[in-house]
Amino acid sequence: MKVKRIVANIETAEPAAVARFYKDILGLDLLMDHGWIATYGVSGATMPLQVSFASEGGAGTPVPGLSIEVDDVDAVHRAVLAADYAVEYGPADEPWGVRRFFVRDPAGTLVNILMHA
């Protein structure tokens, strides 16, 4: 038996409202939309399967609901600020080799946006 995909499901009353953040800011594709559920990802790409269990988010931060690795964390940070989302932590260069910041998506989920240094 192999696990083929892990998908984090986040509860929100308005699934369509998160499109601006996940599609427009992060550039993800809308892979599925049934009205009551919308799934975002990268069409045709294989992403590593990961799930983490943590007692904190590192550097004394709360545990984020999602961690999303990007290739240019500063560009995403600028896009988040331009879209008027409040950054809750960072950007910070962490001692374990990542540059990251925390922001809440429209559903209220704390998201760790990071890139490896």
Kindly tell me if the per-residue pLDDT of 33 is higher than 80. yes
pLDDT reported for residue 13: 87
* CB of 111 closer than 8 Å to CB of 102: yes
From CA 108, how far away is CA 65, in angstroms rounded?
10
DSSP state of 15: G
- Polymer length in residues for the chain: 117
* CATH class as words, domain 15-43+61-116: alpha beta
pLDDT digits (tens, 9 = 90+) for 36-95: 899 999 988 877 778 898 999 999 999 999 999 999 999 999 999 999 999 999 999 999
Confidence of residue 1 (pLDDT cuts 50, 70, 90): low
